[in-house]
Structure 1
Amino acid sequence: MSTIQLVNARECSRFSLLLGLAVLTLVAGGCGGEQTTTVGTSETAAHHDDIAWFDGSPEAAFALAESEGKPLFLYWGAEWCPPCHYLKNKIFKRPEFVAKSQEFVPVYLDGDTESAQILGEELGVMGYPTVIIFSPDGEEVMRMPSTIPVEEYAVVLDSAMERMRPVKTVLAEVMEAGPANAHPSDLNVLAFYSWEQDSKVELEDEEKTATFGRLNEETPNELRLEKSRFLALYLGALIQQSRDSEEALLTDAERAELDTAVAALLEDDQLVANNLILLFYYSRETVELLHPADSPPRQALIGKWVAAAQGVENTGNLPVDDRLDAIYPQIQLAKLQAEAELPAESEEEVEIPAELQDHIRERIAWATGAVTDEGELQAVVNSMGGLLMSSGLEGEAEELLTQMMDKTEAPYYFMSWIGSIKKDADQPEEALAQSLRELPRSLLPLPLGLDLSAPGDRAGTRRRHGHRGRLDRDLVRAAGPRRRLCRRQLLAAGPTRGRLSDVERGRQP
């Protein structure tokens, strides 16, 4: 039987919590009575297409999994979360996954409910979306990634079910025996484990570098996908460690060896498709890690990276969101090249080429016409706004979000973003008005650093959000038992791009 303790809790909307925390002069309301969290109601099941989400409490779901000897598939999401809609569109709506889900007890947990937050705290949920696989007896065995192809998603599920051991145990056994001698399914689990959401193994930065470096080096060459994933994890660990170290982490020979491996990955469509986080969000840092100074080898790697990104952008069977995100490395590498042409001591902020800005506008126009589903638009509009912001087109980003947000499933998510754009443009009154415009249905915090006091207010009621949407210490304390989880989730989601902000904080591929 599952050892997870489930409790009854008073269900309050996140509006009641966050509004009460942020706007101290208003009285929050809308709390319901005592009830137990239910998951997979008929409304929820319809919302998530054909997956037969369990209809009942999490406790009942774990009991059913044990009685039927089935693993449990737990999806933690929210309607406002763009990466959640990306996951649903890329994986959950695919017929092959719907069929695969019959091998599990599938549970959808709405992370905005109070008792779900309490359960998430116990599970160590790090943000939206989270997918956890449990054995029939309730032991956690796997945290799934979101960006891999659906066919590989099924393979990873099979590997987790075949071995049915906690990932911490799998890692210890693989490292003791040596990756070259490990069972292929164990290496598959380690390669595709969602390390950025890990709360069970908890490797320190130096441990990650050593562990992923060894896995990359010793995994047999015939396990191409796993080896490429370990390469991406190793690069991510090196990049993270380099942020806190002034010492060189690699010799020239090691850089050259990694450059060859990265180039081979970028030239292989299958490897690229299984390493989209590396492709999209680690371009600049990887190039700078392997080539600290501008040089012909650096330019060669940039050329291969851009070619791989353009290949994804032009792949018709990929989600629109993936095809848009493939423009991010093109932006970052264009900035890197422009900076290389500036004097060494220059602090001038570079602009991307006008041709690339025009290309971004063209792709946004294409995506606007290609996507009409409210849920998919929640993710796609998020990507479109992020592209415009990253390319220095903040005014166009505000205009786009204003025009498109009412077509999405959760417009309130974007209202906060618009407010932050206005604040950055030194329009505090407009920012406040925008953020309060439809406050009764706003479930997310107000923009980063927004002064909540009205113009001219000197009553000392100012409260500010800290770095990336983290609530001020006093406000977080007021949230009670779910405060740490809320902090992590607001950090992971924030009022800007969900997945991009994760990566910028050092998210592992």
Structure 2
Amino acid sequence: MATAIEWQSGDLGAAFGLAASVGRPVFLYWGAGWCPPCNRVKADIFSLPEFAQRMRNLLPFWLDGDAPGAQALAAQYKLRSYPTLVLYAPDGREITRLPCELDGETFISALDLALDAGHTAAESLQAALGGTRPLAEQEWALLSLYSWDTDEGQLLPAAEQPAALARLAEACPAGDAAARLHLHAQVAAAGRIPGQTQAGNAAASAAQAAAVIAAAADRLLRVLGDTRLARANMDLIVNHGVNLVKWSGARQGELVQALDKAAREFAADDWLPLGDRLVAVRLRMRLVRLGGPSEGVAELVRSTVAASLAEVTEPYARHSLVNTAVSALNDAGFAAEAEALLQATLAGSHSPYYFMLSLAAAARRRNDIPGTLGWYEQAWHAAVGSATRLQWGATYLVSVIDMTPEDQPRIEAAAQGIARDISAASDAYQQRNRTQLQRLAGKLAMLTVPGPHAGALQRLLTANL
């Protein structure tokens, strides 16, 4: 964490009480030490003097996913994805959730907008969808900069997001906020036929679906064709652009070219951190699979990775950069170089157990079962923090059952260890822990003749999930 910021931790209820007594908003950071996007936020946003200056008038609270009771608090406050960034009013009302993928300058602007907001995002959303009053320009901007990816049903249930965001975008007056809200709507709907529910009940005709997809393609082309607007929405474009293009129907070729052009501009933007520029180069590599320009792109990935790694030494930034570099190298077909980078990173990493999971995934792609299980086991044993250990252990045992269900000694040893991790966690059955244990319970139920430890673990999970 940036040392210039006096982060509070521990008792979140006490922090809210203090905020109310001194009249300060609360800035909540929910994250984990091993999480690459969390490390990017620390390096590119929390380290900014402008951010530290804002925090002097707020109560910044760091809720680490491995802190005692953190997963239970996360369930209470609807936090799941690492990182989630939430601004609360002094009276405890949630003002908004801020996107972690924004560059530092844009994030500071979004934070300032939220601090000056006269209404919470929930109040503005209700008024906009209900038509009860016109929204001020700042309210539309606040909604457009809301982190819908980390909403967790706080404002909208996930199943309602595509339709609600489309209505919101249509109601918003033309401008930057409208363009971004339309992108949010497209991201939420990508891969779905408009009007479908998650259960798959088609409520729109094929002609209506085609019209909606065509209109979305037109809007996306307008954003990509406007250098300023594309830059303002870089976070959505680089993270979701490929999926949006895949959903664009007959306009796919045109959109691939436009997205590649935008990615080249992002990659050449010296104002962006090297990690963000590498993400843009990785996007170009992914577009090759959709027919994008291919000449020299793979080598560009390799050279950009090398140049970035040579320059970035700050631990948080490097952790995030290595994660991006490994993904980019794999996309470019340099799997051996990606694996070598992971191996070389372990000794100097503050969270080597995270990269061990990536090494397990690399071994799995080679169909190396012993290597896969060996890295998953090492990651579990090296993991730090009660929630992380529990989740890493569940991942390991699930993989053992999937790949070597006949290896009862290994299953028994893992089951016994996970039972110890569960007893050491004060919130073993909450939030992210619960998700992993539910998955593990399903796998244990598939064992024909579970050993005593596996059977005991299965009974324990059945009784508590």
TM bin, normalised by shorter chain, reads 0.7 to 0.9
Q: 1:463 to 1:154 in 2, by over 3 A?
A: farther
Tell me the secondary structure at the aligned position of residue 155 of structure 2. Answer: coil
Q: Determine if the alignment matches structure 1 residue 417 to structure 2 residue 368.
A: no
Q: Determine if the alignment matches structure 1 residue 285 to structure 2 residue 239.
A: no
Aligned residue number for residue 26 of structure 1 = none
Q: Which deviations, in whole Å up to 9, do the C-alpha atoms of 1:363-398 show, x marking residues without a partner?
A: 111111111111111100000111122333332221
- Match 2:429 to one of 461, 480, 483: 483
Q: Distance in 2 between matches of 1:440 and 1:256?
A: 51
Aligned residue number for residue 28 of structure 1 = none
Q: 1:220 to 1:368 in 2, by over 3 A?
A: same
Aligned residue number for residue 306 of structure 1 = 260
Q: Is the 8 A contact 2:9 2:62 kept in 1?
A: no
Aligned residue runs from structure 1 range 100-249, under 5 A:
100-163=54-117, 165-177=119-131, 181-199=134-152, 200-205=154-159, 207-221=160-174, 223-224=175-176, 226-242=177-193, 248=206
Q: Is the 8 A contact 1:450 1:464 kept in 2?
A: no
Aligned residue number for residue 37 of structure 1 = none
Q: Distance in 2 between matches of 1:275 and 1:208?
A: 19
- Match 2:278 to one of 317, 320, 324: 324
Tell me the secondary structure at the aligned position of residue 281 of structure 1. Answer: helix
- Match 1:428 to one of 366, 369, 391: 369
Q: Is the 8 A contact 1:70 1:104 kept in 2?
A: yes
Q: Distance in 1 between matches of 2:168 and 2:403?
A: 55
Aligned residue number for residue 452 of structure 2 = none
Q: Is the 8 A contact 1:135 1:164 kept in 2?
A: no
Task: Give the superposition deviation at 1:86.
Answer: 0.9
Aligned residue number for residue 343 of structure 2 = 402
* 5+ residue gaps, structure 1: 1-46, 339-351, 466-471, 492-509
Q: Is the 8 A contact 2:354 2:379 kept in 1?
A: no
Q: Which deviations, in whole Å up to 9, do the C-alpha atoms of 1:159-180 show, x marking residues without a partner?
A: 333345443332111222379x
Q: Is the 8 A contact 2:72 2:430 kept in 1?
A: no
**What is the Cα-based RMSD across aligned positions, in Å?**
3.3
Q: 1:455 to 1:163 in 2, by over 3 A?
A: closer
Q: Distance in 2 between matches of 1:236 and 1:93?
A: 30
Q: Distance in 2 between matches of 1:173 and 1:464?
A: 56
Aligned residue runs from structure 1 range 462-481, under 5 A:
462=411, 481=427
Q: Is the 8 A contact 1:126 1:489 kept in 2?
A: no
Q: 1:189 to 1:438 in 2, by over 3 A?
A: closer
Tell me the secondary structure at the aligned position of residue 132 of structure 1. Answer: strand
- Match 1:267 to one of 207, 214, 225: 225
Say which structure is richer in helix. Answer: 2
Q: Distance in 2 between matches of 1:489 and 1:454?
A: 21
Tell me the secondary structure at the aligned position of residue 87 of structure 2. Answer: strand
Task: Give the superposition deviation at 1:52.
Answer: 2.1
Kindly provide the amino acid, as one letter, of the partner of residue 107 in structure 1: F
Task: Give the superposition deviation at 1:145.
Answer: 0.7
Task: Give the superposition deviation at 1:240.
Answer: 4.7
Q: Distance in 1 between matches of 2:104 and 2:120?
A: 23
Tell me the secondary structure at the aligned position of residue 282 of structure 1. Answer: helix
Kindly provide the amino acid, as one letter, of the partner of residue 332 in structure 2: S
Query: What percent of counterpart residues are identical?
Result: 26
Q: How many residues align?
A: 417
Q: Distance in 2 between matches of 1:65 and 1:132?
A: 14
Q: 1:126 to 1:274 in 2, by over 3 A?
A: farther
Aligned residue number for residue 459 of structure 1 = 408
Q: 1:490 to 1:183 in 2, by over 3 A?
A: farther
Q: Determine if the alignment matches structure 1 residue 450 to structure 2 residue 399.
A: yes
Q: Distance in 2 between matches of 1:359 and 1:476?
A: 46
Q: Which deviations, in whole Å up to 9, do the C-alpha atoms of 1:145-197 show, x marking residues without a partner?
A: 11223343233333333345443332111222379x31122212211111121
Q: Which deviations, in whole Å up to 9, do the C-alpha atoms of 1:438-464 show, x marking residues without a partner?
A: 754324416675317998964365389
Per chain length, whose mean CA-contact separation is higher, i.e. which structure has more relative contact order (CA < 8 Å, sep 6+)? 1
Aligned residue runs from structure 1 range 20-59, under 5 A:
47-54=1-8, 57-59=11-13
Q: Normalising by the residue count of structure 1, what TM-score does the alignment of the two structures yield?
A: 0.73
Tell me the secondary structure at the aligned position of residue 100 of structure 2. Answer: coil
Tell me the secondary structure at the aligned position of residue 337 of structure 1. Answer: coil
Kindly provide the amino acid, as one letter, of the partner of residue 188 in structure 1: A
Q: Distance in 1 between matches of 2:436 and 2:36?
A: 13
Tell me the secondary structure at the aligned position of residue 326 of structure 1. Answer: helix
Kindly provide the amino acid, as one letter, of the partner of residue 286 in structure 1: L
Q: Is the 8 A contact 2:281 2:300 kept in 1?
A: no
Aligned residue number for residue 456 of structure 2 = none
Single out whichever of 450-459 and 305-314 deviates more from structure 2.
450-459
Kindly provide the amino acid, as one letter, of the partner of residue 82 in structure 1: P
